[in-house]
């Protein structure tokens, strides 16, 4: 008997989009749990809208691994919010992904690289740790949404990232739906939201936004940078460069 050939990730993503691409978030989460089992995780920034995806996950599998990029550049408010959500939602497997200590010593000994080379800083503190963190998993959830920025307006539910699959259950949720869900389930807001922060990342690279601005306009404001690299080709390149393959992918 011939060995079974794993379905390539881009074909699997295509198949899942055909069947479930327009399903609601809870259905996408349920289908993903069925499809990927223990090969599934979630990546969360514990930012402005993170409580919604985490709540949806906690309803069906609070033990799902949740990966958090601990860049050591977060607002203290974000770290407090992370602890609050973990406790209130009953999440039992939240994992901090840390930058490589020797790489930081070599390339960012003063911790000021974000002031001079943001791409390199994001690579060291986000993309490389995430590549190692997601490597054991076939697929992972993100909280990305089409409404967050013009660069995300064609975001699908399932996307191939090398031999892995990234899943965006909230892809078509807008502000009103997010707020309604948050209120219906009494989810605590990130403390910085009331100060005008709508997309919250590292402290040195995040500012509040004004009415009418893209939610992500406060990220790397004043530079051409709009994404940190973890959702762009950088992650795929690191996975390939390191020879990292997803479990069973």
Specify whether 202 is catalytic.
Answer: no
Q: Which residue is nearest to ligand SF4 (CB)?
A: 202
Q: What are phi and psi of 20, to 5 degrees?
A: -125, 5
Check: CB of residue 90 under 8 Å from CB of residue 58: yes
By CB under 6 A, tell whether 73 contacts ligand SF4. Answer: yes
By CB under 6 A, tell whether 121 contacts ligand SF4. Answer: yes
Check: CB of residue 109 under 8 Å from CB of residue 138: no
CB atoms within 10 A of CB 59: 12
* Residues numbered 126-185 forming contacts with ligand SF4, rule: CB under 6 A: 126
Sign of the alpha-carbon dihedral angle for 206, 100, 97, 188:
negative
Site string for ligand SF4, 96-115 (x = CB under 6 A): ------------------x-
CA 213 to chain centre: 22
By CB under 6 A, tell whether 200 contacts ligand SF4. Answer: no
* Closer residue to ligand SF4 (CB): 56 or 235: 235
How many residues bind ligand SF4, per CB under 6 A? 13
Site string for ligand SF4, 204-223 (x = CB under 6 A): xx------------------
In the chain, DSSP assigns E strands to 40-43, 66-69, 94-97, 139-141, 158-161, 164-167
The continuous run of DSSP H or E covering 188 comes out as none
Catalytic residues: 228
Residues at the contact surface with ligand SF4, assessed by CB under 6 A: 71, 73, 114, 118, 121-122, 125-126, 201-202, 204-205, 228
């Amino acid at each position: 008997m011939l060995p079974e050939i794993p379905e390539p990730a881009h074909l699997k993503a295509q198949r899942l989009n055909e069947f479930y691409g327009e399903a609601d978030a809870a259905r996408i989460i349920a289908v993903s749990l069925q499809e990927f089992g223990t090969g599934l995780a979630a990546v969360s920034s514990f930012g402005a809208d993170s409580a919604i995806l985490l709540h949806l996950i906690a309803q069906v599998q609070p033990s799902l691994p949740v990966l958090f990029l601990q860049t050591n550049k977060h607002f203290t408010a974000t770290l407090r919010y992370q602890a609050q959500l973990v406790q209130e939602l009953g999440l039992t497997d939240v994992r901090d992904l840390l930058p490589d200590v020797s790489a930081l010593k070599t390339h960012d000994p003063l911790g000021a690289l974000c002031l001079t080379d943001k791409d390199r800083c994001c690579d060291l503190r986000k993309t490389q740790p995430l590549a190692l963190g997601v490597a054991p998993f076939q697929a992972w959830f993100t909280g990305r949404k089409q409404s967050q920025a013009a660069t995300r307006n064609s975001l699908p539910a399932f996307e191939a990232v090398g031999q892995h699959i990234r899943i965006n259950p909230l892809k078509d949720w807008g502000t009103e739906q997010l707020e309604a869900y948050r209120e219906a389930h009494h989810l605590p807001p990130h403390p910085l939201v009331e100060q005008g922060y709508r997309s919250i990342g590292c402290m040195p690279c995040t500012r509040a936004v004004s009415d009418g601005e893209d939610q992500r306009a406060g990220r790397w404001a004043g530079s051409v940078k709009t994404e940190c690299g973890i959702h762009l080709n950088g992650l795929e390149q690191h996975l390939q460069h390191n020879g990292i393959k997803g479990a069973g992918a």
